[in-house]
Amino acid sequence: MSIKEKLKGKSFLTLGDFSGAEIKFLLEEALDLKEKQKQGVPHPYLSGKTLGMIFEKSSTRTRVSFEVGMLQLGGHAIFLSSKDIQLGRGETVSDTAKVLGRYVDGLMVRTFAHDTIEEFSEAAGVPVINGLTDLHHPAQVLADLLTIVEHKGQLEGLKVCFLGDGNNNMAHSLLEGAVKVGMDIAIGCPAGYEPDQTILDQVNAEAAASGSKVLVTADPVEAVSEADVVITDVWASMGQESEQEARVEKLKSYQINSELCKHAKSDYIFLHCLPAHREEEVTGEILDGSHSVVFDEAENRLHAQKALMKALMSD
């Protein structure tokens, strides 16, 4: 069975569920779709298809990129806030998923608990795409990998460094994605902020087979040393606002700044999924500087997700 056939009808909940070959296939599709858009070549692969988009967490990039992506693919997207549907009034996730699956051709869900999206996937009967959960953010990391390919020309053999809260959806999806495509990855985080152990165990097992190196360290200099790609995220994600002050105090030595980045490779690139808090997890000098590719990265949400929707939802 070809990769194209394997992906058709599949849900996209974590990068850990996809092989390295499947991820690279999606990246090649994204590059092709991006070029078609640039050249003004119509690509209505999802003509007549509808994507339902359920948001329990607010969004800028996720909503706009999926909605515009469906439009460019010839389809239609429906925005569904949890406050506006029966899910917000006590209907079970399973019942909501079963009903919506009879109306739409795919669902994108942006929610808190990862169990919620797993339940959607089990009940919907159509592909379900993870737009973000507290545990994983695979659509963002797919765009990150696309951005790295564009700027570095390769993935295999590169070192990516994530600094900040290691028990973070970006860190988890980066861990999974990196080892799938042959990258080395270092997570720099303080004690008590390490990645989820179950995810880390799975990633370490895969790294042992693939040859990728995985490092989790409390030393930010060790983590960023000789990195080709430096990444961070906000220190207090949605739902953690009450912990803001404590997190700032604990994570301040992991700020991405020019002094720390002297230890990365001279041609490193900086990524951030945005929105960013300037002078908190990253200085404005880095975010707006010559190494930053954050707006290319943000644009690539559109192209990576179009490739994903085409692969999962097309006939």
The answer to whether 261 is a known catalytic residue is no
244 is in an annotated binding site: no
The answer to whether 161 is a known catalytic residue is no
86 is in an annotated binding site: yes
The answer to whether 72 is a known catalytic residue is no
The answer to whether 273 is a known catalytic residue is yes
Residue 307 to residue 73: CA distance in whole angstroms: 10
Pick the catalytic residue: 72, 140, 255, 305?
140
137 is in an annotated binding site: yes
237 is in an annotated binding site: yes
Pick the catalytic residue: 144, 161, 273, 291?
273
Evaluate whether 157 touches 88 at the Cβ level (below 8 Å).
no
60 is in an annotated binding site: yes
210 is in an annotated binding site: no
Query: Which residue(s) pair with 278 in the sheet?
Result: 282
Kindly list the distances between the CA atom of residue 138 and the CA atoms of 135, 169, 177, 190, 222, in Å, as whole numbers in the listed order. Answer: 10, 8, 8, 24, 26
- Other beta carbons within 10 angstroms of residue 284's beta carbon come to 11
62 is in an annotated binding site: yes
- Other beta carbons within 10 angstroms of residue 88's beta carbon come to 13
301 is in an annotated binding site: yes
Tokens of residue 122, six digits: 């089990």
In one-letter notation, the amino acid at residue 10 is: K
Pick the catalytic residue: 144, 233, 247, 272?
233
The answer to whether 114 is a known catalytic residue is no
307 is in an annotated binding site: no
Pick the catalytic residue: 137, 172, 272, 291?
137
Length of the chain in terms of residues written: 315
Query: Which residue(s) pair with 130 in the sheet?
Result: 109
19 is in an annotated binding site: no
Query: Which DSSP state fits 17?
Result: G
Query: Which DSSP state fits 196?
Result: P
Give the gyration radius of the chain's Cα atoms: 19
The answer to whether 110 is a known catalytic residue is yes
233 is in an annotated binding site: yes
189 is in an annotated binding site: no
Pick the catalytic residue: 72, 110, 172, 228?
110
Annotated binding site for L-ornithine: 169, 233, 237-238
Q: Which residues are catalytic?
A: 110, 137, 140, 233, 273, 301
Annotated binding site for carbamoyl phosphate: 59-62, 86, 110, 137-140, 273-274, 301
Annotated binding site: 59-62, 86, 110, 137-140, 169, 233, 237-238, 273-274, 301
